[in-house]
C-alpha cells in the first residue's frame, strides 16, 4: 500500500518576526505530532523546512535525527520561462509514498497548495491514487477575509497583479467591475517591498465608495487589519511595511 501525502501547514511568522514563538501558538498540537513522525518531505526550500522541523522538535521530539530526514525540493520552472515543471519531474517526488512512506508537503508560510506551487504535487498524488490529507492551520488569505468584514459568501483570490503601472491600473479596474457585478470580494497579494506601491495604485484607481481592506503581518504581535472606503483611505493612509506580507481585499 502507498503512504499518505500530508499537507502540513507552516506558521506565518518565518522571516518576518525577530523572535519566533512556539509553533503551538499557531498550529494545533496534532499537526506538530504528525510533522514530528514524518521522515520524508517535499518543500519549496529545504533549508527553511529544516528550520521548521527544529521548531517542531522543540515541542515534539522528531522520530529521526534531523540529518536523517529526507527533504526533496519542488522543481522550479525552467529559467527564463513560466512553464510549470513536467509531470514526470513532480511525480518522482512521490516515490517514497509509492514505496509505503508517509510524506509531508510544506509551504514557506500558511497552507500548502494554496497560492503555492505545491498544488502540482497534490494533483500528481491524486493521479497516482495516493491518499491526500490536509492538516489544519492558518491561511493568511482566509484570516484576511474573515477580518475584513467584506463579503465572505462570495470571494476570489486573484494572486499578483501586473508590475507595470498602466497594466496594473487596468487590472484593478477589471477587478472592481467584476466585484460590483458579482458582489464578490477580490483578494490579492504583493511582494512585500511593493506593498506601498500596491496600496497607492488601489487608492488612486478605485472608486471612492469601494471598500478596501488591508491585512498586514497576520498572527504577528504587530499585525493589523483596516477596512474603509477608498475615500476614507485617501483622507488617512497609514504606512504599510515593506518587509512584512500583506493581503489586499476590495468589494465594490
Which pLDDT value is given to residue 79? 62
Give CA–CA dist 8/49, Å, rounded: 11
Give CA–CA dist 1/81, Å, rounded: 37
Which pLDDT value is given to residue 65? 96
Quote the pTM value: 0.90
Which pLDDT value is given to residue 78? 64
4-134 is classed CATH 3.40.1010.10:
yes
- Segment 86-102 shows an average pLDDT of 93
Residue 223 has pLDDT above 80, yes or no: yes
Q: Average pLDDT over the chain, rounded to whole?
A: 94
Q: Which residues contact 62 (CB under 8 A, 6 or more apart)?
A: 36, 53, 56, 69
Cell of 101: 512512506
Instruction: Report pLDDT digits (tens) over 185-217.
Output: 999 999 999 999 999 999 999 999 999 999 999
Asked if residues 103 and 96 have their Cβ atoms less than 8 Å apart, the reply is: yes
140-251 is classed CATH 3.40.50.300:
no
Instruction: Report pLDDT digits (tens) over 142-200.
Output: 999 999 999 999 999 999 999 999 999 999 999 999 999 999 999 999 999 999 999 99
Q: Three-state SS for 104? A: strand
Q: Which of 36-45, 70-79, 212-221 has the lowest mean pLDDT?
A: 70-79
Asked if residues 145 and 249 have their Cβ atoms less than 8 Å apart, the reply is: yes
Q: Within the chain, which residue ranges are assigned CATH 3.30.950.10?
A: 140-251
Amino acid at each position: 500500500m502507498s503512504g499518505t501525502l500530508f499537507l502540513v501547514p507552516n506558521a506565518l511568522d518565518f522571516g518576518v518576526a525577530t523572535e519566533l514563538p512556539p509553533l503551538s501558538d499557531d498550529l494545533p498540537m496534532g499537526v506538530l505530532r504528525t510533522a514530528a513522525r514524518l521522515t520524508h518531505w517535499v518543500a519549496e526550500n529545504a533549508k527553511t523546512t529544516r528550520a521548521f522541523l527544529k521548531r517542531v522538535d522543540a515541542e515534539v521530539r522528531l522520530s529521526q535525527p534531523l540529518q536523517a530526514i529526507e527533504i526533496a525540493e519542488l522543481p522550479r520552472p525552467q529559467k527564463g520561462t513560466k512553464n510549470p515543471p513536467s509531470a514526470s519531474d513532480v511525480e518522482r517526488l512521490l516515490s517514497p509514498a509509492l514505496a509505503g512512506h508517509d510524506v509531508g508537503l510544506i509551504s514557506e508560510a500558511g497552507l500548502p497548495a494554496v497560492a503555492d506551487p505545491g498544488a502540482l504535487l497534490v494533483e500528481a498524488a491524486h493521479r497516482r491514487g495516493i491518499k491526500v490529507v490536509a492538516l489544519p492551520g492558518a491561511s493568511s488569505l482566509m484570516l484576511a477575509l474573515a477580518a475584513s468584514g467584506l463579503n465572505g459568501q462570495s470571494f476570489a483570490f486573484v494572486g499578483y497583479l501586473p508590475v507595470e503601472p498602466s497594466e496594473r491600473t487596468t487590472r484593478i479596474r477589471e477587478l472592481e467591475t467584476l466585484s460590483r457585478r458579482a458582489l464578490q470580494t477580490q483578494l490579492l497579494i504583493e511582494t512585500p517591498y511593493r506593498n506601498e506601491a500596491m496600496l497607492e495604485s488601489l487608492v488612486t484607481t478605485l472608486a471612492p465608495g469601494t471598500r478596501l481592506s488591508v491585512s498586514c503581518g497576520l498572527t504577528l504581535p504587530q499585525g493589523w487589519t483596516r477596512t474603509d472606503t477608498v475615500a476614507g483611505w485617501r483622507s488617512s493612509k497609514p504606512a504599510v511595511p515593506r518587509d512584512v506580507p500583506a493581503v489586499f481585499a476590495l468589494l465594490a
